[in-house]
A = this chain, B = another copy of it.
Amino acid sequence: MSDLFPKKGHDHDRCVHSALAQAEKVCDRENARFTDMRRKVFTLIWQSHKAVTAYELLDALTAEGQRVQPPTVYRALEFLTELGLVHRIESLNAYFGCDRPDCEHLGQYFICTDCGRVAEAVNEDMSNAVRKAARSVGFTIQATTVEIKGLCHDCATH
């Protein structure tokens, strides 16, 4: 069993640092501007392995001394999601940093209802099952939402 969720006590600064580096690359490739505000929002999202709501981001920015309004946050989120740097978790109205923004994928999200952590999987079995089911009913896929709530291994065993 390979745990998708990060180990407790892992070097989280490294997660953040690596995510920032990837984001830079993607923005560069797409000729998109990774502005201060976008970087701040992106970094805040990566401060945990949980999904973060727009208003939590707003509060965090306010706490940092910025005076920021909802549209500013939503714009940053729109930018980040369109580039695939961040995914929206529909069942939580919240946002989660992608750790493989460099390649297109249909992601699936495991959401622990105990610790609140989220993990993204890119599981071809699931993707293929969805694609096959769509094909069998003549449905043309534009986007998928696969969100699985339950207990992560840590929370189930401790």
Task: Give A residues with C-beta under 8 Å from B.
Answer: 1-5, 90-91, 108, 110, 112-113, 119, 121, 123, 125-126, 128-130, 132-134, 136-153, 156
Q: In angstroms, how far is the closest chain B Cβ from the Cβ of A8?
A: 14
Closest-by-CB residue of B relative to A138 is: B153
A74–B152 Cα distance when bound, in Å, is 30
Given contacts A90-B90, A145-B145, A145-B146, contact A133 B125 (CB under 8 A): yes
Which residues from B are CB-within-8-Å of A91?
90, 145
Q: What DSSP secondary structure best describes chain A's contact surface?
A: mixed
- Whether the pair A148, B144 counts as a contact (CB closer than 8 A) is yes
A43–B51 Cα distance when bound, in Å, is 36
Copies of this protein in the assembly total 2
Q: In angstroms, how far is the closest chain B Cβ from the Cβ of A95?
A: 14
- Whether the pair A139, B125 counts as a contact (CB closer than 8 A) is no
Partner of A146 from B132, B146, B151 at Cβ < 8 Å:
B146
Closest-by-CB residue of B relative to A126 is: B129
Which residues from B are CB-within-8-Å of A134?
110, 148, 150
A74–B4 Cα distance when bound, in Å, is 36
- Whether the pair A125, B121 counts as a contact (CB closer than 8 A) is no
- Whether the pair A150, B145 counts as a contact (CB closer than 8 A) is no
Q: Can you list 7 A-B pairs with a CB-CB distance of less than 8 A?
A: A5-B137, A90-B145, A126-B126, A126-B130, A130-B148, A140-B156, A144-B149
